[in-house]
Each structure stands twice: as structure tokens, then as C-alpha cells.
């Protein structure tokens, strides 16, 4: 009994932290979203009005499609690149420590600065992208000016920035795998590729799931890279849900902004649940 | 038990620190802009402190105007006692005033016998007065003007264009000829990226064509034939063999177009007056070669320049309103306005300085500016103006990037702005 109480006491700060910084804001946003809380109008309870407005907002629909597409493409590429990177830096070779350190650099750079660097790459007159375009085709190209170009540029920046994160998580998982299994497999005549697909991948599943959930939730609230690189342009085609929420707050519409935040929360929640469910079902088979 | 005692002690300590910080009343002003501007403003605030004996703490903000608005929105919405005084972009004044965040100034003005007729009435009546109350005073007024290369026009023996079509015609001819020596040369640079500046560029051409965003009856008239013609003209500027660079609608903001022109790669540049000092600075390739004219007349026979600028206001939650009013008076005083003009090139909100001989000597185009201010067009002044602006920016930019035709873009924008108006109009 006494020990139990001590446990609770030690857990209390963490619980308090979660309560203050996770639960209170989420519930606060939920409550806010039920009001017409516009800075220049009297506050009024309007029930689900903000959500009804949300469902009829074409900008919101477009932002949801963009955010889902962006998350799917970039998370897929990040997972693939992350597994590949982790496999390489898991091998024994000279200066492995140095290479591991270098791989982490993009993740260590603050998001906004990284995004600024990518923006400079595509800069029309002086960017390195157009340096090569001019050298190869003789014509500069306004890459961020087309919806497809802007989309791929954003995906590239995000993949570049977060692949190290995925790689490090997977590397940690790889190092926990017992080497004896590999030795046995080698004795049984399994080649490198067979070992990867038959042993490494299945054994890494829980770790991959964690990386997947982390990255998907992160990608769904993509904001900083877009704000810096395209500002949602051209013509609003790269506007993410978070960017819309930010703009609603900036315009003084706190109720609508909160409704958008709740929408992101729900979307991330549902997708995380689907992942967890899908992960568990496969385990049972 | 001991742990609980420690926690209690820690909480007590934190509370003491917080309450100490709370007790101190201090006049606080929020300033933003380019580093050189903030530095100069800080030195002026230092003068104020020395003269008045009121200590002033300065909160610095970046240049980006959205970030500056965000930095003010949070304390104002929370009803914080600080900041007391702050600068506002002309387009926020409506939102801030309607939100009840601004202290009405007319009582203070009456008490001090402060005369508001020293300001441009076109600015003071539309930007600083809200539902009959004076809520701000102009610190710095701004308007769109046209820069041109005197030397190139002379080289080809060309006169200044009389209207928009004339400008496009000259720009195209000169661009063709200059391309033989400079492959990166364009006839005309302006601000087309998806941001507030695009709305300014749009309403200038739209007004010159006889259009507007919201008409005198308060109805949205975005999809008028005049606006469609104006937008089609803007699209044509960037099209193949156009006279504006292809990155106009992705990258061109004030500084990008300023640098483009300053590098000697453009004949005309639409920008705000601040660019003049930089074009004329030492080491600038266009030093001594730049001329200034008002924006050209359009098919409607009118010329129009967007009204911009920064205004100073006092927070309604200020704990030191008397001291704050003294600081506001200081900032719009003749002396301070004069040094801001001479040091930073900020165009005074006071009319009386436009006849000042020192200023006329330093800024030879000040007369052009005075006419421009008197014929300036304001952006719609609704509390939710920025929401309207978001929509307009998005669709105009979509049309410029050719994802939509001018007609499609303006019809869609019209529908969305109407929706916003019904939503927010009580």
C-alpha cells in the first residue's frame, strides 16, 4: 500500500504535465469551437455552427485532400528512405560514427531554416535548381509556380528533413535484434535479401509502427515548411489544414480556428487508431 | 512529507516571482520593421524617456507584418496591461477597433487642444476613425508609386507613358531592345506573390479600370466586367513573352521587385516610396538613373494608388493611458515626424511637413507623393478585411498562375467573400 502511494506520487508530475499541456488545451479547443468567438463580434454559443461552416468550406475540403496526399506521399518516402538509411548505418564500416552524425544533420536544423534553404534552392534567379535547368535546358523554370512543382518541392523538403528521424528509430530497433538469428539464417543459406525480408522487417514491425504513427501525425499537422516555402500558394493549392487554422486565428476568428484544430486532432486520432488496429490484426495471424 | 514541503516551497517561490513581475507598471511599446528602423525608433524612444522622465520598455518585432499582427493579437485578446502603445498596419485598424482593443483618443485630443486637421483627411477619416471614434493616428503614410529608368527612356528617346496601355507598350519595346545586351531584362516588375501586397497591386489596376472589391452600397462587386478586364491585363503581363518575370506570382514581394529593379534588370517598377532611398544608395547600380511618377491612368480615366502605412494606437487595457497618450503625441509631433522622414524616408502623416525645405531637398519627389496621397484608394475597411484579403489573394494568384481564368477566379472569389460578409455582418 505504502509503495503504491509512492508510485502515484512519482507519477503525479507527469500526470499533471499531461493534464495541463495536453488535455486542457484539447478540451479548451473543443469548447471554443462551439462558440462564435470572433474578436470583433460579441461571443455567442452557436453549437455545431463552426463545424457546419467547415463542412461547406471548399478551402477546407481542398486542404484536407492536400494534407492527406502530402502525408501519404511523404511518409511513404520517409519510411522507405529511413529503412534504407538505417540498414546502411547499421553495418560495420570505417568512420561509421561520423556518417551516423552526418545523417542526423537535416533533422538537427530548425524547420524554418531548413525550409528557407529549400526555398533558396528554387529561387528563380539565383537558385541552384535553375542553375542546372539553365545549364541543361537553357531555360530557367519557375518550379514553385505550378501546383505539382510546389507539391513535390514540399515533399522533398519534408522527406529530407525527417528521414533521419525515421532512420534513427529504426536503427535503434535493428540494434536490439539478436545476432544469433542472423547467424543461424546464414548457416541455413539465407542470402542478404532473404534475411532482410524474412527476419529484419518482421522483427522490426513494432518499431516501424511507432515510426509510422509519429511521422503520420507530424505530417498531418504540416505547417512551418509550407508557411515559409509557398505560403499556401500558388493559388492556395498547397494550403494545409494547419495553415488554414493559423489564418483563421490571425483573422480573429478563434471559434473557427478551434474547429479546424479539432478537425486535425480527429483526423490524426482516427488514422493512429487505424494503424494500431491494422498492426495488431496482422500480429494475430 | 518532506517532498510535499519542497513542492509547497517551490510553488510559493514561483508565485512570489510572478507577483513581483506583475506589480511593476511600465510603459511598453511594440515596434517592428527593418533592423535599422527599429534601432532608430529606439533611439527616439530614448529621447522621449529622457525628456518626460517616463521609462519606456521596447518590444521588438520582425519585419513580416503577419507575424507582427500575431504578436499583438495574443496580448490584446487576453486583455494584458502591456503593451500600451503599438504600431498597426493601416488594414488592421478596423479589426482592432471593432474588437474593442483600441482606446478612443478624442477625449485626450480635446483636452490637449490637439488639432487633427494637420493630417491628410483622406488618411485620417478613412483609416484612423472608426464608428465616429478616433482610434489611431498616422505615423507613416504610404502609397503605391511607379519607379522608372530615366537613362533607358532617354536612350530610346521615349516619353513617360500617359496611361497603363502606354506603359505596357513602352515596356515591351524597350524589353525587346535591351534583351540583346541583357537576357534577364524585363519591362515591368510588381508584386504578385500570394500575400497582402497582391491585393494592393490588384486594387490599383482594378480602380484604374473602374472596378472595386466592395462598392459604395456595401455590395461585393468582384466579378464586374471592369475587374475581369483588369485581371486579364495582369495575367497578360506575365504570360509568354510578357513584360513581367515568370516568378512574379510566386516570389515577387516588395524586396524582390526592389532588388530586381535595382540590379538594372527592369524598366518600370511598382513599389512603395521606401525603395527610393535604397535605389539612390551608394553602390546601387541605378543610382541617379531612377525617376518617380504616379501610377498611370487607366481606361476609366482615373489613377489610383493603394493606401498603406502604419498607425499608432493605445491598448484599451493599458495601465498607463496618460503616459501612453504622451508617447503617441511625441511620435506624431512635427519634430519626430521630420526626423523619421529625413532618417528613414518615412513619409509623414502630417501635411505641414510636405513644404519643409530640408525634406524637399532630400526627397525631391515629395510633391509627387502628396498628390498620390490625396488620390489614394483605401482597401475595404471591414473588421474582417484580412479575411476578404485572404480570399482575394488566393484567387487572383490562381488566375496569375493560370490555374483559373480571370472570370472563374473572380466569380469564385465573389462567392466566398459574399459568404464571409453574411457570416460576419451582424
pLDDT beyond 80 at A279: no
- Give whole-number Cα distances, A226 to A147, A157, B193, in Å: 13, 10, 14
pLDDT band at B367 (very low <50, low <70, confident <90, very high): confident
Per-residue pLDDT, B167? 95
Length of chain A: 285
Nearest-CA residue of chain A relative to B185?
A125
Lowest mean pLDDT among B18-32, B162-176, B246-260, B269-283: B18-32
3-state secondary structure of B89: strand
Per-residue pLDDT, B100? 92
Nearest Cα to Cα of residue B167 among B37, B303, B46: B303
**Domain B24-142+307-377 shares a fold with domain B143-306+380-424:** yes
- Which residue ranges make up each domain of chain A? 57-284
User: Which CATH number describes the domain made up of B143-306+380-424?
Assistant: 3.40.190.10
Q: What is the pLDDT of residues B311-321, one digit of tens each?
A: 999 999 999 99
Q: Does B359 touch chain A (CB under 8 A)?
A: no
The CATH superfamily of B24-142+307-377 is Periplasmic binding protein-like II (3.40.190.10)
What is the separation, in whole angstroms, between the first and last Cα of chain B? 58
Using the beta-carbon criterion (under 8 Å), do B394 and A53 form an inter-chain contact?
Answer: no
A177 phi/psi in degrees, rounded to 5 = -75, 135
Per-residue pLDDT, A186? 85
Give strand pairing partners of B102. B315
Q: What is the arithmetic mean of pLDDT over B129-147? A: 92
Is residue A247 within 8 A of residue A231, CB to CB? The reply is no
Nearest to A145 among B100, B247, B404 (CB): B247
Q: What is the arithmetic mean of pLDDT over B167-171? A: 95
Q: Does B85 touch chain A (CB under 8 A)?
A: no
- Give whole-number Cα distances, B102 to B90, B92, B94, in Å: 14, 11, 10
CA angle A45, A49, A54 (to 5 degrees): 140
pLDDT band at A284 (very low <50, low <70, confident <90, very high): very low
- Which residue ranges make up each domain of chain B? 24-142+307-377, 143-306+380-424
Lowest mean pLDDT among A59-73, B19-33, B173-187, B217-231: B19-33
B contact test, residue of A61, A142, A249 with most B CBs within 10 A: A142
Residue A189 region by backbone torsions, left for phi larger than 0, else alpha for psi between -120 and 50, else beta: left
Distance between CA atoms of A218 and B26, rounded to whole angstroms? 41
Q: What is the arithmetic mean of pLDDT over A116-145? A: 88
By DSSP bridging, strand A35-36 and strand A44-45 are: antiparallel
Distance between CA atoms of B383 and B274, rounded to whole angstroms? 27
Domain A57-284 grouped into CATH 1.10.3720.10: yes
- B window 166-185, beta carbon within 8 A of A: 184
Distance between CA atoms of B199 and B385, rounded to whole angstroms? 11
By DSSP bridging, strand B186-189 and strand B290-293 are: unpaired
List CB contacts (< 8 A) between A38 and chain B. 384, 424
Nearest to B194 among A41, A234, A254 (CB): A234
Measured CB to CB, residues of chain A less than 8 Å from chain B are 9, 38-41, 53, 58-59, 123-125, 140, 142, 144-147, 230-237, 247, 249-254
Distance between CA atoms of B256 and B95, rounded to whole angstroms? 29
Quick one: A16 exposed, middle or buried, by C-beta within 10 A (0-12, 13-18, 19+)? exposed
Strands (E), chain A: 35-36, 44-45
**How many C-beta atoms lie closer than 10 Å to residue B102's C-beta?**
23
Per-residue pLDDT, B426? 67
**A vs B: CB pairs below 8 A:** 102
Q: Does B99 touch chain A (CB under 8 A)?
A: yes
Q: What is the arithmetic mean of pLDDT over B368-377? A: 82
Amino acid at each position: 500500500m505504502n509503495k503504491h502511494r509512492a508510485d502515484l506520487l512519482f507519477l503525479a508530475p507527469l500526470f499533471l504535465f499531461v493534464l495541463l499541456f495536453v488535455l486542457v488545451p484539447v478540451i479548451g479547443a473543443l469548447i471554443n469551437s462551439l462558440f462564435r468567438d470572433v474578436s470583433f463580434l460579441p461571443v455567442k454559443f452557436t453549437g455545431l455552427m463552426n463545424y457546419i461552416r467547415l463542412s461547406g468550406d471548399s478551402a477546407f475540403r481542398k486542404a484536407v485532400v492536400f494534407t492527406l496526399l502530402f502525408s501519404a506521399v511523404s511518409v511513404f518516402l520517409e519510411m522507405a528512405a529511413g529503412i534504407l538509411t538505417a540498414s546502411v548505418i547499421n553495418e560495420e564500416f570505417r568512420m561509421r560514427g561520423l556518417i551516423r552524425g552526418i545523417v542526423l544533420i537535416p533533422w538537427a536544423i530548425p524547420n524554418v531554416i531548413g525550409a528557407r534553404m529549400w526555398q533558396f534552392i528554387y529561387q528563380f534567379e539565383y537558385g541552384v535548381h535553375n542553375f542546372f535547368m539553365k545549364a541543361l535546358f537553357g531555360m530557367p523554370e519557375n518550379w514553385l509556380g505550378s501546383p505539382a512543382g510546389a507539391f513535390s518541392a514540399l515533399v522533398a523538403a519534408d522527406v529530407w528533413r525527417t528521414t533521419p528521424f525515421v532512420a534513427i528509430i529504426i536503427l535503434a530497433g535493428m540494434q536490439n535484434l539478436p545476432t544469433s538469428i542472423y547467424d543461424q539464417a546464414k548457416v541455413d543459406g539465407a542470402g542478404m535479401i532473404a534475411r532482410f525480408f524474412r527476419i529484419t522487417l518482421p522483427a522490426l514491425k513494432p518499431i516501424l509502427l511507432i515510426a509510422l504513427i509519429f511521422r503520420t501525425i507530424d505530417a498531418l499537422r504540416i505547417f512551418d515548411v509550407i508557411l515559409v516555402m509557398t505560403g499556401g500558394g500558388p493559388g492556395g493549392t498547397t494550403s494545409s489544414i494547419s495553415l488554414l487554422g493559423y489564418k483563421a486565428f490571425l483573422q480573429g476568428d478563434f471559434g473557427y480556428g478551434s474547429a479546424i484544430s479539432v478537425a486535425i486532432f480527429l483526423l490524426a486520432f482516427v488514422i493512429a487508431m487505424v494503424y494500431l488496429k491494422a498492426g495488431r490484426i496482422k500480429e494475430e495471424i | 512529507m518532506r517532498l510535499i514541503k519542497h513542492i509547497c516551497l517551490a510553488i510559493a517561490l514561483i508565485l512570489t516571482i510572478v507577483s513581483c513581475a506583475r506589480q511593476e507598471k511600465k510603459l511598453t511599446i511594440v515596434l517592428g520593421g527593418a533592423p535599422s528602423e527599429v534601432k532608430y525608433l529606439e533611439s527616439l524612444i530614448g529621447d522621449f524617456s529622457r525628456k518626460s522622465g517616463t521609462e519606456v520598455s521596447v518590444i521588438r518585432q520582425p519585419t513580416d507584418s503577419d507575424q507582427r499582427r500575431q504578436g499583438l493579437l495574443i496580448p490584446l485578446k487576453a486583455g494584458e496591461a502591456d503593451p500600451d502603445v503599438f504600431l498597426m498596419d493601416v488594414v488592421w485598424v478596423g479589426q482592432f477597433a471593432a474588437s474593442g482593443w483600441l482606446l478612443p483618443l478624442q477625449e485626450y485630443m480635446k483636452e490637449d487642444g490637439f488639432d487633427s486637421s494637420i493630417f491628410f483627411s483622406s488618411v485620417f477619416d478613412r483609416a484612423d476613425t472608426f464608428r465616429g471614434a478616433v482610434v489611431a493616428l498616422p505615423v507613416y503614410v504610404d502609397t503605391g508609386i511607379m519607379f522608372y529608368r530615366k537613362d533607358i527612356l532617354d536612350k530610346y528617346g521615349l516619353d513617360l507613358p500617359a496611361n497603363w496601355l502606354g506603359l505596357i507598350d513602352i515596356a515591351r519595346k524597350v524589353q525587346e531592345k535591351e534583351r540583346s545586351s541583357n537576357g534577364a531584362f524585363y519591362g515591368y516588375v510588381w508584386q504578385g506573390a500570394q500575400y497582402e501586397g497582391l491585393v494592393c497591386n490588384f486594387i490599383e489596376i482594378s480602380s484604374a479600370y473602374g472596378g472595386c472589391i466592395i462598392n459604395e452600397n456595401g455590395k461585393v462587386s468582384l466579378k464586374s466586367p471592369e475587374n475581369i478586364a483588369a485581371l486579364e491585363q495582369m495575367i497578360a503581363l506575365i504570360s509568354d513573352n510578357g513584360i513581367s518575370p515568370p516568378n512574379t506570382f510566386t516570389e515577387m514581394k516588395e524586396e524582390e521587385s526592389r532588388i530586381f529593379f535595382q540590379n538594372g534588370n527592369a524598366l518600370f517598377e511598382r513599389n512603395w516610396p521606401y525603395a527610393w532611398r535604397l535605389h539612390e544608395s551608394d553602390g546601387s547600380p541605378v543610382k541617379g538613373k531612377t525617376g518617380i511618377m504616379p501610377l498611370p491612368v487607366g481606361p476609366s480615366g482615373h489613377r489610383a494608388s493603394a493606401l498603406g502605412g502604419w498607425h499608432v494606437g493605445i491598448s484599451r487595457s493599458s495601465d498607463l493611458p496618460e503616459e501612453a497618450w504622451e508617447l503617441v503625441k511625441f511620435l506624431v509631433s512635427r519634430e519626430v515626424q521630420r526626423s523619421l522622414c529625413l532618417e528613414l524616408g518615412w513619409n509623414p502623416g502630417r501635411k505641414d511637413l510636405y513644404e519643409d525645405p530640408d525634406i524637399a531637398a532630400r526627397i525631391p519627389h515629395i510633391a509627387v507623393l502628396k498628390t498620390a496621397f490625396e488620390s489614394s484608394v483605401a482597401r475595404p475597411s471591414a473588421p474582417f478585411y484580412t479575411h476578404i484579403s485572404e480570399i482575394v489573394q488566393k484567387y487572383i494568384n490562381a488566375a496569375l498562375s493560370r490555374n483559373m481564368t480571370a472570370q472563374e477566379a473572380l466569380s469564385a472569389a465573389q462567392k466566398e467573400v459574399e459568404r464571409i460578409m453574411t457570416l460576419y455582418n451582424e
